[in-house]
Structure 1
């Protein structure tokens, strides 16, 4: 599927830690308790792989597969900042991966390289002992061993700035790397505990690449001194826009079935035509391409005649008759033009029919990709700096509808992701979206009202009346004078009066300065702001704080605040002290009868300014799905009174010039899931820090929304060696991320791969790391449809 994937700091194992693809991807807590176990279990099944599996005895030796990628690799060094998805695919095929990822997104020891790897000491320091496969050798014949581990640690530890590394996560925690009883045993001692130690040394480079800055920074960009996988790099051809991998004769594992694998850089919108021409055998495609291939299968039973699609398919009978009449009419100039048009249409139809005929040799393999598309909200400044507005945006979204829009037509499961840190099927996965709440127009409007954005706020306030005129609570002139006039003006303006007769019922200092409760249990301080627990607790000794019954919006905000803290810390939401809905269900709801009014035919506003958000989307030919989702989101926001200004920009500038630089309010892009979320997800949600030059250091947190507590939870999880305890910390962090409402996961991305039907063991891999040595042509077809 064509979409935008957010840039990552480096590329390690397949896509789970990938860098960018640009392929044009309030605290409102009703029932903060997470889903029931049965709900979690029903939604936690991993998506099935679709790779046409076949045993090695059913696949032939030989042949070449031409596989579409997005680019010629900028570098072959996966630890450099400009490493891309093609770099990752090459690394998977030619370099050691000590741990791969299984179909459930879990790291698994790779026996081709490791006999064992385990934590052998926890105190006083964590020690991991690796025992390497005795047959494992580099392509130059040297055994893989401790010198390679030592050189890679020194290059990536961050202690030597001469090495241009993108990230040092995990390697900076290593205290020393030592040889064991032989070079095939490696002892790694950590200065502080590291739960994601399995993420290290994958891919593993030979010491010739990592020993010196010159080799690491420059030479490894275009060539590798040695490799150690089922394939090796034969040539990177920038002119031909391809990278050729061939069998590694020194590979000790199961021999690669294919003789060669060509990674061809083909733009997404040109891949279907390339498949039809026979210049590609495998290509990830978008839904429109998948639809064409599906139509091609239907066309097979029609004698080669395409069904009702393709060039001219939308021509009505009357239009066709008119075209024929013009082409055969007496007006020669009109006839000539009409004949030329008909000839072009006929040629286009013929070309389309030929392509459809060729596309019958392909099948679309589909699954859910280990990545999700999110709505990102820039919380650095503007209206979205107010968390209540972000939560209102989130509560306005029908995530189920958005997921179904993208996935249901493809026959794929359309459950919106319930976690930022894991996807269904992974052990960490638990639906924590309850920390934000489901779609609710009423709740979204209440949050906006609490933030001061009201239906009448977009209108300019009238000039103050002359002395003696009656005024309403806000100070605006009342046409009939006094309080009744204020009520009439408020009703005329479409606004709802907050808190009833709060001006007449102001609490006395002696009775309520200490925070005594009213019937609703909550008050506002005399300065008009909610009397949160912290404000009452921290007031200056002896200070007089006049309190009055809180308006519905203030009640709403305080209840949500209390319940968000409760749910993120694993407590029961109902015990958090917040109001309840009229039906008795615990949650973040204002008291009965106090809902904010619906926008009366327009945008909500504040101080005469309408609430409008700048929604930036990519404009490339492969981003139709994102734009369709963006349009739906805009309509959903309009229903609660939020306007959107949709701005379409070039794919090339979308991330760098808009998302990464913060030039947006709303944006859509994707993040890959990781087997190591404590390490890989931390920079995505880390609280931005001010730099010495006054700028903001955001790492990969392009929403600019974070908190110290979320950072602490990530740090604790990264150092927790007990897997159950680490998982609990990550789930608590996820609940906090949901409550902060900086990013809202919408749907797991579809993985659609067109594969020549004669190929086996390749297609939509889902979570699982591809085993390139098993990809091959079926024996009965290697000399038929298969390409040699």
Structure 2
């Protein structure tokens, strides 16, 4: 499952996903890589940064009206984008559709001012750093109140980490703000930072309404099963838990350009059901990345196959807070016993372009600043794994038998979602077989889809778990993933693996405004993260989608955001 980021997938935390978050669309497009309805030949290069295939069309070519139907991974329970249980990617995508995002991302992942919400936003002082936002006076919440500086101030107080009663997924960035004050009027906001912060554009994205998050109780419980107040061109029309559908509709009070579509219907589906639902015309797009799905979808005459280069990584998280994996030597041994190339070969055997092992937790291979820092921890070394386990006191009891220490067997629990894709299931089984060769028994536990994050990943009820972090165009969006947990907050570090050195490097990187110097610090932190075996990066997941022909301004958007106002059905 993907986990989304509060930046492009969440502004507060990274977005999580076990399957696929709804792809974004907007900005420019390059539809030259792959023929519509066809596919690139094996051996062609993966899509480059900035590439996307969204069937870009001007407004005159898009019908007014119609419905877009899509799948989501699960029923959404917690709708607060910033709450620890609100980081599921589909929920965050829907919240971003109905709440102000202030900035949008283009195909290059560059922030662009959204004039529907902001007249301007700029650094007006550097010592201390002050960012001044001037809000569009037309921008209003669904309760009729104007967006104001008080919304910024309330969000900062909820997210800055000073009150642990707010169950926050990520405090980074907000914890560097020293004050949020009123400017020349209620629609001007001055945000003062106690220490410099390079990625200030990822904050307050989305902006949430002050009355809905003003107390810990409202923040934690006021968004359960509903979004209490909205503030964008779309609003939620209905929640149907029986049918497992959520419908969004244009808000008639919207002050900007009217959306083209009449409605978007989101329906909870298991990953295995997407292809049949698409071919039966129950939904209008489906992931085409699984070989068995791609082979069926590419033959459908009413389908375009669209590909792009999204920030999207697949990894395995280790739980360093319980059981054998509390020992760094055991984590390192398990790391060496996992053959990443074997996992990639299984996953990518029928894809139209090659997939390489990912060597970095912060950068994708097609991003500037990428460096493979995996070193020895990215290489398969069964002999080295056995040597580490021997030294750690885990006795080798022979082939096919688990190692033992102090009367206990070396057994790890690998938790997967019941709604997982076939590649996720295959991956778990491959890891199980690979670790057995080192004397480590892996028990695969399949849990209900709706419980996967809230009851297992978020709570640390696992030894090994795999999900996706997506859309972390700003590296600070990953801060909470590697942040040192406190007594009451785990943030996004579900495996609880952290060191003072990693924390210091991330803190310094976040305050460094020089891009090359910042990149160097993130790469230093990354090397330490590999050595500590916080998680094993596997690969950048290609963005390959089957999309209904005639659907414009939507598809494989790469680094860009979804533009829900321009997407729709073509007139001819």
TM-score (normalizing by structure 1): 0.61
C-alpha separation in 2, matches of 1:376 and 1:215:
31
Aligned to 1:109: 113
C-alpha separation in 2, matches of 1:753 and 1:776:
17
C-alpha separation in 2, matches of 1:226 and 1:617:
35
Of 421, 424, 432, the match for 1:626: 424
- State the 1:408 CA deviation: 3.9
SS of residue in 1 equivalent to 2:265: strand
- State the 1:615 CA deviation: 4.7
Aligned to 1:436: 377
SS of residue in 2 equivalent to 1:726: helix
Of 243, 246, 251, the match for 1:243: 246
Aligned to 1:650: 447
Aligned to 1:48: 51
C-alpha separation in 2, matches of 1:397 and 1:213:
42
> What do the CA deviations read for 1:428-472 (whole angstroms, capped 9, x no partner)?
53221226353344544554555566xxx535xxxxxxxxxxxxx
C-alpha separation in 1, matches of 2:356 and 2:135:
41
C-alpha separation in 1, matches of 2:421 and 2:82:
29
* Alignment check: 8 A CA contact 1:286 1:622 kept: no
> What do the CA deviations read for 1:6-56 (whole angstroms, capped 9, x no partner)?
6x8x8564357355445599xxxxxxxxxxxxxxxx999437323222233
- State the 1:127 CA deviation: 0.9
C-alpha separation in 1, matches of 2:468 and 2:376:
21
Is 2:543 the partner of 1:745?
no
* Alignment check: 8 A CA contact 1:44 1:426 kept: no
SS of residue in 2 equivalent to 1:189: strand
Of 364, 376, 396, the match for 1:458: 396
* Alignment check: 8 A CA contact 2:67 2:261 kept: yes
Is 2:335 the partner of 1:394?
yes
- State the 1:259 CA deviation: 2.1
Q: Taking structure 1 as reference, are residues 148 and 612 closer, same or farther at Cα in structure 2, changes over 3 Å only? A: closer
Is 2:468 the partner of 1:670?
yes
Q: How does 1:214-363 map to 2 (within 5 A)?
A: 221=224, 227-284=230-287, 287=290, 290-291=293-294, 293-294=296-297, 296-297=299-300, 360-363=301-304
Q: Taking structure 1 as reference, are residues 651 and 212 closer, same or farther at Cα in structure 2, changes over 3 Å only? A: closer
Q: Taking structure 1 as reference, are residues 430 and 621 closer, same or farther at Cα in structure 2, changes over 3 Å only? A: same
Q: How does 1:163-202 map to 2 (within 5 A)?
A: 165-202=168-205
Q: Taking structure 1 as reference, are residues 452 and 76 closer, same or farther at Cα in structure 2, changes over 3 Å only? A: closer
> What do the CA deviations read for 1:521-576 (whole angstroms, capped 9, x no partner)?
xxxxxxxxxxxxxxxxxxxxxxxxxxxxxxxxxxxxxxxxxxxxxxxxxxxxxxxx
- State the 1:772 CA deviation: 0.9
Aligned to 1:94: 98
Aligned to 1:301: none
* Alignment check: 8 A CA contact 1:105 1:425 kept: no
C-alpha separation in 2, matches of 1:605 and 1:228:
57
Aligned to 2:24: none
Of 538, 542, 552, the match for 1:760: 552
- State the 1:172 CA deviation: 3.5
Aligned to 1:374: 315
SS of residue in 1 equivalent to 2:495: coil
C-alpha separation in 1, matches of 2:407 and 2:335:
21
- Structure with more of its chain in strand, by fraction: 2
* Alignment check: 8 A CA contact 2:14 2:470 kept: yes
C-alpha separation in 2, matches of 1:723 and 1:685:
21
- State the 1:735 CA deviation: 0.8
SS of residue in 2 equivalent to 1:768: coil
Aligned to 1:524: none
- State the 1:141 CA deviation: 6.1
- State the 1:138 CA deviation: 4.3
Aligned to 2:25: none
Is 2:488 the partner of 1:683?
no
C-alpha separation in 1, matches of 2:92 and 2:518:
28
More RCO (CA 8 Å, sep 6+) = 2
Is 2:509 the partner of 1:717?
yes
C-alpha separation in 2, matches of 1:160 and 1:294:
50
C-alpha separation in 2, matches of 1:179 and 1:107:
24
C-alpha separation in 2, matches of 1:180 and 1:155:
21
- State the 1:203 CA deviation: 0.9
C-alpha separation in 2, matches of 1:731 and 1:770:
30
C-alpha separation in 1, matches of 2:402 and 2:230:
61
Q: Which consecutive unaligned segments of at least 5 residues does structure 1 have?
A: 26-41, 298-359, 460-599, 781-788
* Alignment check: 8 A CA contact 1:423 1:673 kept: no
Q: Taking structure 1 as reference, are residues 432 and 45 closer, same or farther at Cα in structure 2, changes over 3 Å only? A: farther
SS of residue in 2 equivalent to 1:774: coil
> What do the CA deviations read for 1:723-773 (whole angstroms, capped 9, x no partner)?
433322211111111122231111223444332212112223333211111
Q: Taking structure 1 as reference, are residues 611 and 671 closer, same or farther at Cα in structure 2, changes over 3 Å only? A: farther
Of 327, 330, 355, the match for 1:414: 355
Aligned to 1:152: 155
- State the 1:414 CA deviation: 0.3
- State the 1:688 CA deviation: 5.1
- State the 1:204 CA deviation: 1.3
Q: Taking structure 1 as reference, are residues 447 and 75 closer, same or farther at Cα in structure 2, changes over 3 Å only? A: closer
- State the 1:265 CA deviation: 2.6
Q: Taking structure 1 as reference, are residues 136 and 458 closer, same or farther at Cα in structure 2, changes over 3 Å only? A: closer
Is 2:571 the partner of 1:779?
yes
> What do the CA deviations read for 1:464-514 (whole angstroms, capped 9, x no partner)?
xxxxxxxxxxxxxxxxxxxxxxxxxxxxxxxxxxxxxxxxxxxxxxxxxxx
* Alignment check: 8 A CA contact 2:402 2:411 kept: no
* Alignment check: 8 A CA contact 1:616 1:665 kept: yes
C-alpha separation in 2, matches of 1:205 and 1:686:
24
SS of residue in 2 equivalent to 1:772: coil
Of 707, 727, 736, the match for 2:519: 727
SS of residue in 2 equivalent to 1:671: strand
Is 2:202 the partner of 1:405?
no
